[in-house]
Structure 1
Amino acid sequence: MILLKYLALLLLTVQIHKAQGCDEFTDLAFGHAIIGTSMKTRLLLYTRENATCGTLMSHTDILNHPQFNLSRPTTFVIHGYRPTGTPPMWLGRIIDLLLARSDVNVIVVDWCHGATSLNYFRVVENTHKAAENLTAFVKKMQECGASMSSIYMIGVSLGAHISGFVGANMNGSIGRITALDPAGPMFRGTSPEMHLDPTDALFVDVLHTDMDALGYREPIGHIDFYPNGGTDQPGCPKTIFSGGSYFKCDHQRSVMLYLDSVSHTCDSKAYPCSSYKDFLDGNCMTCDRFGDLGCPVFGYNVTEWKDVLLKLGETKVFFSTNTVSPFCMTNYRVDMMIWNKDVRWGYITVKLHGDGKESVAKINHAASEFKKYTETTLLAQFDKDIRVVKKVSLNFSNGNIFTPRYKLRLLRIRLTNLDRQERPLCRYDILLEENKEVTFRPIPCEDSNF
């Protein structure tokens, strides 16, 4: 019954759109990927006045379009490879979220006819044709008085490079390009003019989520974000037996992360570091180079750091995510000191309790070393943000079932929230027995230096 109601509502929506004369994103059959399609680029405009009803833009009569207002900023959304010819599943949501955040012209660049083919090499060739078409439109906007600095391009996969080609054609005058996991195959190892690079816009921010397969590995923006190291994304299938999702989940996660940032669900702070391993090891927990702004936030709002990033030059930053939305995690610095006579190696799990919730951080990417009267510093990344921490739980394990059970005698532990300026929490003299959770109430630390 629910399915029938949904189908009826969907049919009604389609009929309303047809009655209103809405222009829809191209929807091709899989057969088109086999027989091929002729290249065609369509520009669909959405504004707050017609948020659910796209209208086709003309390259020659921009000023007379009833909804297009050149005094507004314009955001272009450019999709990537469409091997089956279907519209991107995220298209409607990104339009809604962008219009909710700002009163802009959202133009969806529909080059599905050029992106649908089993011959990927032909699709790559078509990216240049799509860019030529889009460049002609942007130049017409410029002739009609539009400010190039108010143009924002969001390119997904191959769409990221299309954005770069257009930006290069406009001599880097476009305001911003956001590249969501720019395509790697056929672009890796090429010269800068053959792929997106920082000179293609006044500001270029890049997200890498599948750099070891479908995405691009090297930094190619003013700031390059590498969530979860830029490779395997949490929650994505690990084996080929999961079907098509195994191949595309990591790649598509870039869009899901960006949508979270536009919806302002939560902020993912990213940390400059030489590698993801160093980041997880707790070696990169400061953002002094960004001054009072602190660590840059991934996604829609990263332009707040634009000026300092342009001065710093190429910047690689790392952060970790949850498996599902909200993807952002809460970061703490954990300082521990033991008074065991012998060195201990092991893994720590920390739980925060408060606000009627429990938040967990497993520090298990590598065994940590604990020495007597020596501070061990760890990065704890919690799956939820607990605003007021009432209790803390600790669990210690050495990960080896064949060795004797150890005890970790904590002289003190200190937890410092890296995402908010607040007084650190401490506790003194705690005995941890291996694989036995200990819960305690933390107290404000007595000093700032620990």
Structure 2
Amino acid sequence: DNEFKLLCGSGEYCDNFTDLNLSHCFIGTSLYVRLLLYTRSNLDCGHELNHHHLSTQPLFNLTQPTAFVIHGYRPTGAPPIWIDHIVHLLAEQEDMNIIVVDWNRGAANLNYFTAVSYTREAAHNLTGFIMTMEEEGASLSSVHLIGVSLGAHLAGFVGANLKGKIGRITGLDPAGPMFTSATPEERLDPSDAMFVDVLHTDMNSFGLRGAHGHIDFYANGGADQPGCPKTIFAGKSYFVCDHQRSVFLFLCSLNRTCSLTGYPCSSYSDFLDGRCLQCETFKPASCPVLGYDVSQWRETLLQLGQTKVFFSTTLLIQISHFGFHLSRQLFQTQILLLFAPSKLLRLEQYTSTRLLAQFDEDLPNIQKISLRINTGNVIGPRYKIRLLRIRFTPLERPERPLMCRFDIIMEENMEVAFRPLPCDSRL
């Protein structure tokens, strides 16, 4: 097995993540847990830790925070493609110990139920290691477990073994199969750590439905993700794309290339209708952002209790004071405004409404908006509607000015085009 490599030019041996193949999975593997340490001084060269003699590990600084990265089920036996990325990105957040929990021998089985049965044993092993850390001076509150899929429940078992004294557990799309009817003691739950944050991306397949942390983020509703295949003809990607999206979104947040704000809401449909865009109850005075820094909202979240937040991975713009929906079709600088075909809105005198629009890319300089109110009428008189104000609020670009248009006369089923202007400048 390829578990070691020679670091060119230095003569130093590095410990690699266990690399298995399908033959191991067919035969079945027995659990063996390896702990690979990475720090800022050895980001590209893992060092396997002795489970019992930490004082002999010069790179392991027990006074610093420690993040454990715990993978999930490995049906092919291959190392996760994201391991190196998450190690490097975590090291950029702060100076810490990063320990990759390699339980590939155990997770690599064609029989998923066997891998599930090993999570308790692997958790017992990891619990013993963390207890040794504590005995040698480490603080449990400085320990952060990041578990992916089945690894999220494994992290929860470790936290439960340690009576919830672990500082933080992050669950990336906790596994659903065999956990859908589990009690809190049989899966990840908020009592497993001082702070538990969870990201959902595949609740209708390999992920777990419901809320299981102090804060649960639901990406695009927590189920089907944009860009993932919709049919089985796409092969392996059809099965893993939505589930893996949780890892890639977390990596994106660590890389600071995407700021994913979660809006507290009771349902995804309410979120899409623009009913859940208020963040005044949170301190700091903004809604929680997915990622490593979400712990800054911890005290507020602990006071609020379990909180569900929703976000979209497309650009969000709040559109208020008008009676139509914005489609997600992009025509360069032209935007087509339409009624949502599945939802009819009632337009009445002196009423206003608020809707949420989503775009696949940023539109910094909108030159023209084409607007049409579709009523479905093909015969009969054409009705006219007077829109007193349309306001566009860029939720994810608060530094940009609000854009408005005032006093537009519209005839049903007829297109009107206009250029939006800053709200403080009336025509």
**TM-score strictly above 0.5:** yes
What letter corresponds to residue 444 of structure 1 in structure 2? Answer: C
Deviations 1:396-441 (A, max 9, x none): 3649697899876533211223342665321113356758572404
2:317 to 332, 335, 348: 332
**SS of equivalent residue, structure 1 residue 24:** strand
Which residue of the partner structure matches residue 395 of structure 2? 418
* TM-score under structure 1 length normalisation: 0.85
What letter corresponds to residue 146 of structure 1 in structure 2? Answer: A
Distance in 2 between residues matched to 1:380 and 1:100, nearest whole Å: 34
Alignment RMSD: 2.9
CA contact (8 A) 1:350 1:395 kept: no
What letter corresponds to residue 259 of structure 1 in structure 2? Answer: L
Residues 38, 362 of structure 1: alpha-carbon distance in 2 compared, 3 angstrom cutoff: farther
CA contact (8 A) 1:42 1:111 kept: yes
What letter corresponds to residue 318 of structure 2 in structure 1? Answer: R
Asked whether 1:141 is paired with 2:133, we answer: yes
2:281 to 281, 286, 289: 289
Which residue of the partner structure matches residue 343 of structure 1? none
* TM-score under structure 2 length normalisation: 0.89
Worse overlay, 403-412 or 69-78: 403-412
Give the unaligned 5+ runs of structure 1: 1-12, 323-328, 339-345
Higher helix share: 1
1:428 to 392, 406, 418: 406
Which residue of the partner structure matches residue 28 of structure 1? 20
**SS of equivalent residue, structure 1 residue 109:** strand
Residues 165, 336 of structure 1: alpha-carbon distance in 2 compared, 3 angstrom cutoff: same
Distance in 2 between residues matched to 1:182 and 1:18, nearest whole Å: 40
What letter corresponds to residue 407 of structure 2 in structure 1? Answer: D
Which residue of the partner structure matches residue 152 of structure 1? 144
Between the two proteins, the alignment pairs up a number of residues equal to 417
CA contact (8 A) 1:351 1:360 kept: yes
Counterpart mapping for 1:15-414 below 5 A: 16=8, 19-322=11-314, 329=315, 331-337=316-322, 347-349=325-327, 364=340, 366-369=342-345, 371-373=347-349, 374-385=351-362, 389=365, 391-396=367-372, 398=374, 409-414=386-391
Distance in 2 between residues matched to 1:98 and 1:276, nearest whole Å: 30
Distance in 2 between residues matched to 1:359 and 1:107, nearest whole Å: 49
Residues 287, 68 of structure 1: alpha-carbon distance in 2 compared, 3 angstrom cutoff: same
What letter corresponds to residue 297 of structure 1 in structure 2? Answer: V
Distance in 1 between residues matched to 2:341 and 2:128, nearest whole Å: 50
Residues 70, 409 of structure 1: alpha-carbon distance in 2 compared, 3 angstrom cutoff: same
Q: How many angstroms does 1:444 deviate by?
A: 2.2
Q: How many angstroms does 1:115 deviate by?
A: 0.2
Residues 397, 91 of structure 1: alpha-carbon distance in 2 compared, 3 angstrom cutoff: farther
Percent of pairs with identical residues? 51
Q: How many angstroms does 1:386 deviate by?
A: 5.3
Distance in 2 between residues matched to 1:130 and 1:332, nearest whole Å: 45
**SS of equivalent residue, structure 1 residue 288:** coil
Deviations 1:212-252 (A, max 9, x none): 11111011100011111111010001111111111111100
Residues 20, 292 of structure 1: alpha-carbon distance in 2 compared, 3 angstrom cutoff: closer
Residues 424, 230 of structure 1: alpha-carbon distance in 2 compared, 3 angstrom cutoff: same
1:444 to 412, 423, 426: 423
Which residue of the partner structure matches residue 10 of structure 1? none
**SS of equivalent residue, structure 2 residue 281:** helix
CA contact (8 A) 1:33 1:83 kept: yes
Give the unaligned 5+ runs of structure 2: none
Distance in 2 between residues matched to 1:377 and 1:259, nearest whole Å: 32
